[in-house]
A and B are shown apart, each in its own frame.
Chain A
Protein backbone atom coordinates (compact mmCIF):
# COMPACT_ATOMS: atom_id res chain seq x y z
CA UNK A 1 0.00 0.00 0.00
CA UNK A 2 2.79 2.38 0.96
CA UNK A 3 4.72 1.46 -2.18
CA UNK A 4 1.67 2.00 -4.31
CA UNK A 5 1.14 5.45 -2.78
CA UNK A 6 4.80 6.28 -3.32
CA UNK A 7 4.82 5.29 -6.99
CA UNK A 8 1.52 7.03 -7.64
CA UNK A 9 2.69 10.34 -6.19
CA UNK A 10 6.21 9.97 -7.57
CA UNK A 11 4.73 9.61 -11.05
CA UNK A 12 2.57 12.70 -10.53
CA UNK A 13 5.61 14.56 -9.21
CA UNK A 14 7.78 13.70 -12.22
CA UNK A 15 4.96 14.52 -14.62
CA UNK A 16 4.22 17.85 -12.93
CA UNK A 17 7.89 18.80 -12.66
CA UNK A 18 8.48 18.15 -16.35
CA UNK A 19 5.34 20.06 -17.28
CA UNK A 20 6.59 23.07 -15.30
CA UNK A 21 9.38 23.57 -17.84
CA UNK A 22 7.60 22.39 -20.99
CA UNK A 23 4.19 24.04 -20.74
CA UNK A 24 3.68 27.23 -22.73
CA UNK A 25 1.50 29.27 -20.43
CA UNK A 26 3.34 30.64 -17.34
CA UNK A 27 0.20 30.40 -15.17
CA UNK A 28 -0.11 26.72 -16.03
CA UNK A 29 3.59 26.28 -15.24
CA UNK A 30 3.07 27.84 -11.80
CA UNK A 31 0.07 25.58 -11.16
CA UNK A 32 2.10 22.51 -12.16
CA UNK A 33 4.77 23.65 -9.73
CA UNK A 34 2.11 23.72 -7.01
CA UNK A 35 1.15 20.17 -7.95
CA UNK A 36 4.81 19.16 -7.79
CA UNK A 37 5.16 20.67 -4.31
CA UNK A 38 2.04 18.92 -3.16
CA UNK A 39 3.12 15.48 -4.38
CA UNK A 40 6.59 15.86 -2.90
CA UNK A 41 4.92 16.77 0.42
CA UNK A 42 3.02 13.48 0.23
CA UNK A 43 6.28 11.60 -0.42
CA UNK A 44 7.81 13.28 2.64
CA UNK A 45 4.79 12.18 4.65
CA UNK A 46 5.59 8.61 3.64
CA UNK A 47 9.05 9.15 5.16
CA UNK A 48 7.28 10.12 8.42
CA UNK A 49 8.59 13.67 8.09
CA UNK A 50 5.17 15.18 8.77
CA UNK A 51 6.46 18.52 9.97
CA UNK A 52 8.51 19.12 6.82
CA UNK A 53 5.69 17.92 4.59
CA UNK A 54 3.10 20.18 6.19
CA UNK A 55 5.52 23.10 6.33
CA UNK A 56 6.17 22.62 2.61
CA UNK A 57 2.45 22.87 1.90
CA UNK A 58 1.97 25.75 4.32
CA UNK A 59 4.93 27.87 3.23
CA UNK A 60 5.47 27.05 -0.42
CA UNK A 61 1.99 26.10 -1.57
CA UNK A 62 0.03 28.34 0.78
CA UNK A 63 2.13 31.50 0.67
CA UNK A 64 5.02 31.60 -1.80
CA UNK A 65 3.20 30.16 -4.78
CA UNK A 66 0.11 32.27 -4.13
CA UNK A 67 2.25 35.41 -4.40
CA UNK A 68 4.05 33.95 -7.39
CA UNK A 69 0.79 33.18 -9.14
CA UNK A 70 -0.41 36.65 -8.22
CA UNK A 71 2.54 38.20 -10.10
CA UNK A 72 2.51 35.77 -13.03
CA UNK A 73 -1.22 36.30 -13.63
CA UNK A 74 -0.75 40.03 -13.96
CA UNK A 75 2.20 39.81 -16.35
CA UNK A 76 1.48 39.92 -20.02
CA UNK A 77 4.39 37.83 -21.24
CA UNK A 78 5.14 37.67 -24.93
CA UNK A 79 6.11 34.07 -25.48
CA UNK A 80 7.77 34.47 -28.90
CA UNK A 81 10.50 36.79 -27.61
CA UNK A 82 11.15 34.37 -24.78
CA UNK A 83 11.71 31.55 -27.24
CA UNK A 84 14.06 33.42 -29.58
CA UNK A 85 17.23 32.87 -27.56
CA UNK A 86 16.55 29.23 -26.80
CA UNK A 87 19.07 27.68 -29.23
CA UNK A 88 21.75 30.25 -28.48
CA UNK A 89 21.64 29.73 -24.71
CA UNK A 90 21.18 25.97 -24.87
CA UNK A 91 24.90 25.01 -24.45
CA UNK A 92 25.39 27.36 -21.48
CA UNK A 93 22.17 26.13 -19.89
CA UNK A 94 23.29 22.52 -20.29
CA UNK A 95 26.64 23.35 -18.67
CA UNK A 96 24.97 25.08 -15.71
CA UNK A 97 22.56 22.17 -15.37
CA UNK A 98 25.38 19.63 -15.30
CA UNK A 99 27.30 21.66 -12.70
CA UNK A 100 24.22 21.84 -10.46
CA UNK A 101 23.64 18.11 -10.87
CA UNK A 102 27.27 17.31 -9.94
CA UNK A 103 27.07 19.58 -6.91
CA UNK A 104 23.87 17.96 -5.73
CA UNK A 105 25.33 14.49 -6.14
CA UNK A 106 28.42 15.54 -4.19
CA UNK A 107 26.33 16.89 -1.36
CA UNK A 108 23.90 14.00 -1.18
CA UNK A 109 26.65 11.43 -2.00
CA UNK A 110 24.48 9.15 -4.05
CA UNK A 111 27.42 7.21 -5.49
CA UNK A 112 29.37 6.21 -2.46
CA UNK A 113 31.32 3.00 -2.29
CA UNK A 114 29.34 0.02 -0.98
CA UNK A 115 31.68 -0.59 1.97
CA UNK A 116 31.01 2.87 3.36
CA UNK A 117 27.43 2.35 4.44
CA UNK A 118 27.90 3.12 8.14
CA UNK A 119 26.54 6.63 7.89
CA UNK A 120 23.31 5.77 6.14
CA UNK A 121 22.54 2.68 8.22
CA UNK A 122 23.03 4.55 11.48
CA UNK A 123 20.80 7.39 10.50
CA UNK A 124 18.12 5.06 9.16
CA UNK A 125 18.15 3.02 12.35
CA UNK A 126 18.10 6.01 14.68
CA UNK A 127 15.36 7.64 12.67
CA UNK A 128 13.24 4.50 12.90
CA UNK A 129 13.55 4.27 16.69
CA UNK A 130 13.25 7.95 17.54
CA UNK A 131 10.31 8.52 15.24
CA UNK A 132 8.37 5.78 16.97
CA UNK A 133 9.02 7.30 20.38
CA UNK A 134 8.47 10.97 19.68
CA UNK A 135 6.79 12.90 16.96
CA UNK A 136 8.92 14.23 14.16
CA UNK A 137 7.93 17.79 15.03
CA UNK A 138 9.27 17.47 18.57
CA UNK A 139 12.57 15.96 17.45
CA UNK A 140 13.04 18.68 14.86
CA UNK A 141 12.21 21.42 17.35
CA UNK A 142 14.64 20.06 19.92
CA UNK A 143 17.42 19.69 17.36
CA UNK A 144 16.87 23.19 15.98
CA UNK A 145 16.82 24.94 19.35
CA UNK A 146 19.66 23.01 21.02
CA UNK A 147 22.29 21.57 18.67
CA UNK A 148 21.70 23.94 15.77
CA UNK A 149 20.61 27.06 17.59
CA UNK A 150 23.31 29.34 16.12
CA UNK A 151 22.88 28.32 12.46
CA UNK A 152 19.13 28.56 12.98
CA UNK A 153 19.25 32.04 14.49
CA UNK A 154 21.77 33.25 11.91
CA UNK A 155 19.52 32.02 9.11
CA UNK A 156 16.61 33.86 10.72
CA UNK A 157 18.61 37.09 10.96
CA UNK A 158 19.70 36.80 7.32
CA UNK A 159 16.07 36.41 6.30
CA UNK A 160 15.12 39.44 8.39
CA UNK A 161 17.87 41.50 6.75
CA UNK A 162 16.69 40.37 3.33
CA UNK A 163 13.13 41.35 4.22
CA UNK A 164 14.12 44.80 5.45
CA UNK A 165 16.31 45.31 2.38
CA UNK A 166 13.48 44.35 0.05
CA UNK A 167 11.13 46.76 1.78
CA UNK A 168 13.75 49.54 1.76
CA UNK A 169 14.35 49.05 -1.97
CA UNK A 170 10.69 49.29 -2.89
CA UNK A 171 9.67 52.00 -0.40
CA UNK A 172 9.73 55.22 -2.36
CA UNK A 173 8.34 58.41 -0.93
CA UNK A 174 5.11 58.79 -2.82
CA UNK A 175 3.26 62.00 -3.28
CA UNK A 176 -0.17 60.53 -3.03
CA UNK A 177 -3.08 61.27 -0.83
CA UNK A 178 -2.59 59.41 2.38
CA UNK A 179 -5.43 59.01 4.82
CA UNK A 180 -4.77 58.90 8.50
CA UNK A 181 -7.13 56.36 10.04
CA UNK A 182 -7.13 58.05 13.43
CA UNK A 183 -8.36 61.29 11.86
CA UNK A 184 -11.01 59.41 9.94
CA UNK A 185 -12.22 57.68 13.07
CA UNK A 186 -12.25 60.77 15.25
CA UNK A 187 -14.42 62.77 12.85
CA UNK A 188 -17.71 64.08 14.16
CA UNK A 189 -20.84 64.71 12.25
CA UNK A 190 -20.89 68.44 13.01
CA UNK A 191 -17.62 68.93 11.12
CA UNK A 192 -18.92 67.44 7.90
CA UNK A 193 -22.60 68.11 7.50
CA UNK A 194 -24.84 70.97 8.45
CA UNK A 195 -28.44 70.31 9.19
CA UNK A 196 -30.65 72.99 7.76
CA UNK A 197 -34.07 73.41 9.17
CA UNK A 198 -36.39 74.35 6.33
CA UNK A 199 -40.13 74.65 6.43
CA UNK A 200 -41.93 72.33 4.04
CA UNK A 201 -43.24 74.01 0.91
CA UNK A 202 -46.91 74.03 0.25
CA UNK A 203 -48.21 71.87 -2.59
CA UNK A 204 -49.08 74.65 -5.03
Chain B
Protein backbone atom coordinates (compact mmCIF):
# COMPACT_ATOMS: atom_id res chain seq x y z
CA UNK B 1 0.00 0.00 0.00
CA UNK B 2 2.81 2.35 0.96
CA UNK B 3 4.55 1.59 -2.31
CA UNK B 4 1.49 2.71 -4.25
CA UNK B 5 1.52 6.05 -2.42
CA UNK B 6 5.22 6.47 -3.14
CA UNK B 7 4.70 5.68 -6.82
CA UNK B 8 1.80 8.12 -6.94
CA UNK B 9 4.03 10.77 -5.36
CA UNK B 10 6.76 10.10 -7.91
CA UNK B 11 4.26 10.49 -10.76
CA UNK B 12 2.94 13.70 -9.18
CA UNK B 13 6.48 15.11 -9.18
CA UNK B 14 7.85 13.81 -12.47
CA UNK B 15 4.91 14.59 -14.77
CA UNK B 16 4.66 18.32 -13.89
CA UNK B 17 8.45 18.46 -13.94
CA UNK B 18 8.63 17.08 -17.47
CA UNK B 19 5.90 19.46 -18.58
CA UNK B 20 7.80 22.39 -17.08
CA UNK B 21 10.95 21.19 -18.83
CA UNK B 22 9.10 21.22 -22.15
CA UNK B 23 7.72 24.70 -21.57
CA UNK B 24 11.01 25.95 -20.15
CA UNK B 25 12.57 25.32 -23.58
CA UNK B 26 9.74 27.35 -25.09
CA UNK B 27 10.19 30.11 -22.49
CA UNK B 28 13.92 30.15 -23.16
CA UNK B 29 13.49 30.61 -26.88
CA UNK B 30 10.82 33.24 -26.43
CA UNK B 31 12.56 35.24 -23.70
CA UNK B 32 15.97 35.19 -25.36
CA UNK B 33 14.19 36.02 -28.60
CA UNK B 34 12.66 39.15 -27.14
CA UNK B 35 15.95 40.06 -25.48
CA UNK B 36 17.54 39.95 -28.92
CA UNK B 37 14.63 41.82 -30.55
CA UNK B 38 13.27 38.76 -32.32
CA UNK B 39 9.92 37.05 -31.86
CA UNK B 40 11.05 33.48 -31.29
CA UNK B 41 8.95 30.43 -32.22
CA UNK B 42 5.46 31.51 -33.28
CA UNK B 43 4.38 29.05 -35.99
CA UNK B 44 3.14 25.90 -34.26
CA UNK B 45 -0.16 26.50 -32.53
CA UNK B 46 -1.35 29.88 -31.25
CA UNK B 47 1.71 32.07 -30.49
CA UNK B 48 3.88 28.98 -30.87
CA UNK B 49 2.53 27.31 -27.74
CA UNK B 50 2.70 23.86 -29.32
CA UNK B 51 6.36 24.24 -30.33
CA UNK B 52 7.73 22.00 -27.50
CA UNK B 53 5.26 19.26 -28.44
CA UNK B 54 6.31 19.49 -32.07
CA UNK B 55 9.97 19.31 -31.03
CA UNK B 56 9.33 16.25 -28.88
CA UNK B 57 7.46 14.47 -31.67
CA UNK B 58 10.21 15.28 -34.14
CA UNK B 59 12.91 13.94 -31.83
CA UNK B 60 10.93 10.78 -31.09
CA UNK B 61 10.67 9.87 -34.76
CA UNK B 62 14.29 10.49 -35.58
CA UNK B 63 16.70 7.65 -36.08
CA UNK B 64 19.13 6.87 -33.27
CA UNK B 65 22.54 6.58 -34.85
CA UNK B 66 25.20 4.65 -32.97
CA UNK B 67 28.70 5.51 -34.25
CA UNK B 68 31.10 2.86 -35.50
CA UNK B 69 33.28 1.36 -32.77
CA UNK B 70 31.20 3.05 -30.10
CA UNK B 71 30.53 1.10 -26.96
CA UNK B 72 26.82 0.45 -27.53
CA UNK B 73 25.83 -0.34 -23.94
CA UNK B 74 27.57 2.68 -22.42
CA UNK B 75 26.45 4.87 -25.31
CA UNK B 76 22.81 4.11 -24.55
CA UNK B 77 23.08 4.13 -20.76
CA UNK B 78 24.85 7.53 -20.61
CA UNK B 79 21.76 9.75 -21.11
CA UNK B 80 19.90 7.67 -18.53
CA UNK B 81 22.71 8.26 -16.05
CA UNK B 82 22.42 12.00 -16.67
CA UNK B 83 18.69 12.26 -16.15
CA UNK B 84 18.29 9.78 -13.27
CA UNK B 85 20.09 11.85 -10.58
CA UNK B 86 18.38 15.03 -11.83
CA UNK B 87 15.01 13.40 -11.12
CA UNK B 88 16.07 11.48 -8.01
CA UNK B 89 17.14 14.65 -6.21
CA UNK B 90 13.51 15.88 -6.24
CA UNK B 91 12.59 13.20 -3.71
CA UNK B 92 13.69 15.34 -0.74
CA UNK B 93 12.51 18.77 -1.89
CA UNK B 94 9.58 20.07 0.16
CA UNK B 95 6.94 21.73 -2.02
CA UNK B 96 4.78 22.89 0.88
CA UNK B 97 4.81 22.17 4.59
CA UNK B 98 4.50 18.39 4.74
CA UNK B 99 4.49 17.97 0.95
CA UNK B 100 7.68 16.02 0.50
CA UNK B 101 8.23 12.55 -0.90
CA UNK B 102 11.03 11.51 1.47
CA UNK B 103 11.45 13.63 4.60
CA UNK B 104 14.91 12.33 5.45
CA UNK B 105 17.31 13.80 7.98
CA UNK B 106 20.33 13.92 5.70
CA UNK B 107 18.43 15.66 2.89
CA UNK B 108 21.12 18.19 2.09
CA UNK B 109 23.80 15.49 1.85
CA UNK B 110 21.52 13.46 -0.38
CA UNK B 111 21.11 16.46 -2.69
CA UNK B 112 24.87 16.96 -2.81
CA UNK B 113 25.44 13.26 -3.52
CA UNK B 114 22.83 13.17 -6.29
CA UNK B 115 24.07 16.29 -8.04
CA UNK B 116 27.62 14.96 -7.91
CA UNK B 117 26.89 11.74 -9.79
CA UNK B 118 25.26 13.46 -12.75
CA UNK B 119 28.70 14.00 -14.26
CA UNK B 120 29.13 10.27 -14.95
CA UNK B 121 26.60 10.33 -17.74
CA UNK B 122 28.52 13.12 -19.45
CA UNK B 123 31.90 11.42 -19.03
CA UNK B 124 30.56 8.08 -20.23
CA UNK B 125 28.80 9.71 -23.16
CA UNK B 126 32.01 11.38 -24.23
CA UNK B 127 34.08 8.26 -23.88
CA UNK B 128 31.62 5.79 -25.39
CA UNK B 129 30.98 7.92 -28.49
CA UNK B 130 34.44 7.15 -29.87
CA UNK B 131 34.79 10.72 -31.07
CA UNK B 132 37.46 13.26 -30.25
CA UNK B 133 35.12 16.21 -29.86
CA UNK B 134 32.88 14.26 -27.53
CA UNK B 135 35.88 13.12 -25.54
CA UNK B 136 37.21 16.66 -25.16
CA UNK B 137 33.79 17.80 -24.03
CA UNK B 138 33.65 15.02 -21.45
CA UNK B 139 37.09 15.89 -20.07
CA UNK B 140 36.19 19.56 -19.76
CA UNK B 141 32.95 18.74 -18.08
CA UNK B 142 34.58 16.38 -15.57
CA UNK B 143 37.18 18.96 -14.54
CA UNK B 144 34.61 21.73 -14.37
CA UNK B 145 32.09 19.85 -12.26
CA UNK B 146 34.68 18.57 -9.80
CA UNK B 147 36.00 22.13 -9.35
CA UNK B 148 32.65 23.81 -8.82
CA UNK B 149 31.33 21.09 -6.59
CA UNK B 150 33.77 22.13 -3.86
CA UNK B 151 32.51 25.71 -3.81
CA UNK B 152 28.94 24.42 -3.94
CA UNK B 153 29.60 22.05 -1.05
CA UNK B 154 31.06 24.85 1.07
CA UNK B 155 28.05 27.04 0.33
CA UNK B 156 25.84 24.21 1.56
CA UNK B 157 28.00 23.91 4.69
CA UNK B 158 27.08 27.55 5.38
CA UNK B 159 23.36 26.75 5.01
CA UNK B 160 23.74 23.76 7.29
CA UNK B 161 25.50 25.87 9.93
CA UNK B 162 22.86 28.60 9.77
CA UNK B 163 19.92 26.20 9.91
CA UNK B 164 21.47 23.67 12.26
CA UNK B 165 19.93 20.84 10.29
CA UNK B 166 20.40 18.79 7.14
CA UNK B 167 16.67 18.28 6.70
CA UNK B 168 15.30 20.55 3.98
CA UNK B 169 11.96 21.12 5.71
CA UNK B 170 13.74 22.20 8.87
CA UNK B 171 16.01 24.45 6.83
CA UNK B 172 12.91 26.23 5.53
CA UNK B 173 11.44 26.42 9.03
CA UNK B 174 14.67 28.01 10.24
CA UNK B 175 14.07 30.86 7.78
CA UNK B 176 10.60 31.53 9.12
CA UNK B 177 9.88 35.17 10.03
CA UNK B 178 10.02 37.62 7.18
CA UNK B 179 11.81 38.13 3.89
CA UNK B 180 14.81 39.39 5.87
CA UNK B 181 14.93 36.20 7.93
CA UNK B 182 15.60 34.18 4.81
CA UNK B 183 19.18 33.05 4.47
CA UNK B 184 19.99 35.14 1.40
CA UNK B 185 20.93 38.06 3.62
CA UNK B 186 23.28 36.50 6.22
CA UNK B 187 24.65 34.12 3.58
CA UNK B 188 24.74 36.60 0.70
CA UNK B 189 28.20 35.62 -0.68
CA UNK B 190 27.37 31.93 -0.31
CA UNK B 191 24.06 32.43 -2.07
CA UNK B 192 25.69 34.18 -5.03
CA UNK B 193 28.41 31.52 -5.22
CA UNK B 194 25.91 28.69 -4.91
CA UNK B 195 23.82 30.01 -7.75
CA UNK B 196 26.80 30.67 -10.04
CA UNK B 197 28.23 27.24 -9.24
CA UNK B 198 24.80 25.83 -10.00
CA UNK B 199 24.91 27.45 -13.42
CA UNK B 200 28.36 25.92 -13.92
CA UNK B 201 27.22 22.54 -12.62
CA UNK B 202 24.35 22.38 -15.11
CA UNK B 203 26.72 23.25 -17.96
CA UNK B 204 24.71 26.31 -18.81
CA UNK B 205 25.99 29.40 -20.56
CA UNK B 206 28.38 31.14 -19.76
CA UNK B 207 29.93 27.94 -18.39
CA UNK B 208 28.87 25.64 -21.22
CA UNK B 209 32.40 24.64 -22.17
CA UNK B 210 31.39 20.99 -22.34
CA UNK B 211 29.28 21.88 -25.36
CA UNK B 212 31.31 24.74 -26.77
CA UNK B 213 29.71 24.83 -30.23
CA UNK B 214 32.33 27.13 -31.63
CA UNK B 215 35.37 25.03 -30.72
CA UNK B 216 34.29 21.43 -30.12
CA UNK B 217 31.04 21.35 -32.14
CA UNK B 218 28.64 20.20 -29.43
CA UNK B 219 30.95 18.52 -26.98
CA UNK B 220 29.90 15.37 -25.25
CA UNK B 221 26.63 14.85 -27.13
CA UNK B 222 27.89 15.52 -30.64
CA UNK B 223 27.27 11.89 -31.71
CA UNK B 224 23.81 11.62 -30.21
CA UNK B 225 20.60 11.86 -32.18
CA UNK B 226 16.88 11.34 -31.75
CA UNK B 227 15.51 10.42 -28.36
CA UNK B 228 18.94 9.83 -26.79
CA UNK B 229 19.84 13.44 -27.53
CA UNK B 230 16.45 14.55 -26.26
CA UNK B 231 17.15 12.88 -22.91
CA UNK B 232 20.36 14.89 -22.55
CA UNK B 233 18.34 17.98 -23.30
CA UNK B 234 15.63 17.07 -20.79
CA UNK B 235 18.27 16.37 -18.15
CA UNK B 236 19.91 19.75 -18.65
CA UNK B 237 16.62 21.57 -18.18
CA UNK B 238 15.56 19.33 -15.30
CA UNK B 239 18.87 20.16 -13.63
CA UNK B 240 18.23 23.87 -14.17
CA UNK B 241 14.85 23.59 -12.48
CA UNK B 242 16.45 21.58 -9.69
CA UNK B 243 19.13 24.19 -9.05
CA UNK B 244 16.50 26.94 -9.09
CA UNK B 245 14.37 24.97 -6.64
CA UNK B 246 17.35 24.34 -4.37
CA UNK B 247 18.43 27.96 -4.41
CA UNK B 248 14.95 29.07 -3.45
CA UNK B 249 14.69 26.36 -0.78
CA UNK B 250 18.06 26.98 0.82
CA UNK B 251 18.38 30.75 0.52
CA UNK B 252 14.96 32.20 -0.29
CA UNK B 253 12.67 30.48 2.16
CA UNK B 254 11.19 27.78 -0.12
CA UNK B 255 7.40 27.86 0.22
CA UNK B 256 7.39 30.69 2.76
CA UNK B 257 5.40 33.75 1.75
CA UNK B 258 7.42 36.86 0.95
CA UNK B 259 4.80 38.98 2.74
CA UNK B 260 5.36 37.25 6.05
CA UNK B 261 5.79 39.68 8.92
CA UNK B 262 4.38 42.65 6.97
CA UNK B 263 0.91 44.19 6.95
CA UNK B 264 0.12 42.20 3.79
CA UNK B 265 0.57 38.84 5.53
CA UNK B 266 -3.10 38.26 6.33
CA UNK B 267 -4.18 39.49 2.88
CA UNK B 268 -2.09 36.79 1.19
CA UNK B 269 -2.60 34.08 3.82
CA UNK B 270 -4.92 32.14 1.50
CA UNK B 271 -2.21 31.65 -1.15
CA UNK B 272 -0.76 28.13 -0.90
CA UNK B 273 2.98 27.86 -0.24
CA UNK B 274 3.43 25.92 -3.46
CA UNK B 275 2.58 29.09 -5.39
CA UNK B 276 5.37 31.10 -3.77
CA UNK B 277 7.77 28.22 -4.33
CA UNK B 278 6.93 28.10 -8.04
CA UNK B 279 7.26 31.89 -8.32
CA UNK B 280 10.73 31.72 -6.79
CA UNK B 281 11.78 28.84 -9.05
CA UNK B 282 10.54 30.78 -12.09
CA UNK B 283 12.52 33.83 -11.00
CA UNK B 284 15.77 31.88 -10.78
CA UNK B 285 15.06 30.15 -14.08
CA UNK B 286 14.69 33.61 -15.62
CA UNK B 287 18.19 34.37 -14.35
CA UNK B 288 19.48 31.23 -16.09
CA UNK B 289 18.02 32.45 -19.38
CA UNK B 290 19.13 36.02 -18.81
CA UNK B 291 22.73 34.86 -18.23
CA UNK B 292 22.65 32.97 -21.48
CA UNK B 293 21.46 36.01 -23.39
CA UNK B 294 23.99 38.31 -21.72
CA UNK B 295 27.39 36.73 -21.16
CA UNK B 296 29.88 35.32 -23.63
CA UNK B 297 31.34 31.90 -22.85
CA UNK B 298 34.19 31.73 -20.36
CA UNK B 299 37.64 30.72 -21.49
CA UNK B 300 38.78 27.48 -19.89
CA UNK B 301 41.52 28.96 -17.68
CA UNK B 302 39.20 31.78 -16.57
CA UNK B 303 36.66 29.20 -15.54
CA UNK B 304 39.15 27.27 -13.45
CA UNK B 305 40.52 30.45 -11.91
CA UNK B 306 37.05 31.62 -10.93
CA UNK B 307 36.25 28.29 -9.33
CA UNK B 308 39.46 27.65 -7.44
CA UNK B 309 40.93 31.06 -6.73
CA UNK B 310 37.82 33.17 -6.20
CA UNK B 311 34.89 31.04 -5.08
CA UNK B 312 36.59 28.58 -2.75
CA UNK B 313 38.50 31.25 -0.74
CA UNK B 314 35.37 33.41 -0.43
CA UNK B 315 33.27 30.49 0.81
CA UNK B 316 35.96 29.51 3.33
CA UNK B 317 36.19 33.06 4.67
CA UNK B 318 32.43 33.40 4.87
CA UNK B 319 32.08 30.14 6.78
CA UNK B 320 34.42 31.58 9.43
CA UNK B 321 32.47 34.87 9.46
CA UNK B 322 29.25 32.91 9.76
CA UNK B 323 30.53 30.96 12.73
CA UNK B 324 31.30 34.29 14.42
CA UNK B 325 27.72 35.42 13.65
CA UNK B 326 26.39 32.26 15.24
CA UNK B 327 28.68 32.57 18.28
CA UNK B 328 27.60 36.15 19.05
CA UNK B 329 23.97 35.17 18.27
CA UNK B 330 23.54 37.95 15.75
CA UNK B 331 19.87 38.95 15.57
CA UNK B 332 17.51 38.40 13.83
CA UNK B 333 18.85 35.19 12.33
CA UNK B 334 20.81 33.40 15.00
CA UNK B 335 18.91 34.02 18.21
Contacts and interface: CB of A to CB of B under 8 A. Distances in A.
Given A58-B112, A69-B142, A135 B105 contact: yes
B116 A137 contact: no
Given A31-B124, A73-B123, A57 B142 contact: no
Given A50-B104, A66-B142, A67-B146, A34 B113 contact: no
A62 interface: yes
Contacts of B207: none
A136 B106 CA distance: 9
Contacts of B123: 66, 69-70, 73
B270 to A, nearest CB: 35
A181 interface: yes
A137 B117 contact: no
A34 B116 CA distance: 13
B120 A66 contact: yes
Given A31-B124, A66-B142, A69-B142, A137 B106 contact: yes
Contacts of A179: 301
Nearest to A184: B302
B119 A66 contact: yes
Contacts of B124: 31
A137 to B, nearest CB: 5
B149 A62 contact: yes
A51 B123 CA distance: 26
Nearest to A1: B3
Interface residues of B, number: 27
Contact of A54 (B109, B127, B145): B109
Q: Is the interface of B mostly helix, strand, loop or mixed?
A: helix
Contact of B113 (A54, A67, A69, A181): A54
B110 interface: yes
B31 to A, nearest CB: 29
A61 interface: yes
Contact of A61 (B116, B135, B139): B116
Nearest to A69: B123
A55 interface: yes
Contacts of A67: 142, 146
B116 A73 contact: no
A51 B301 CA distance: 35
The 7 closest A-B pairs by CB, nearest first: A62-B116, A135-B105, A57-B113, A54-B109, A58-B113, A50-B106, A54-B113
Interface of B: 74, 104-106, 109-110, 112-113, 116-117, 119-120, 123-124, 127, 135, 138-139, 142-143, 145-146, 149, 166, 301-302, 305
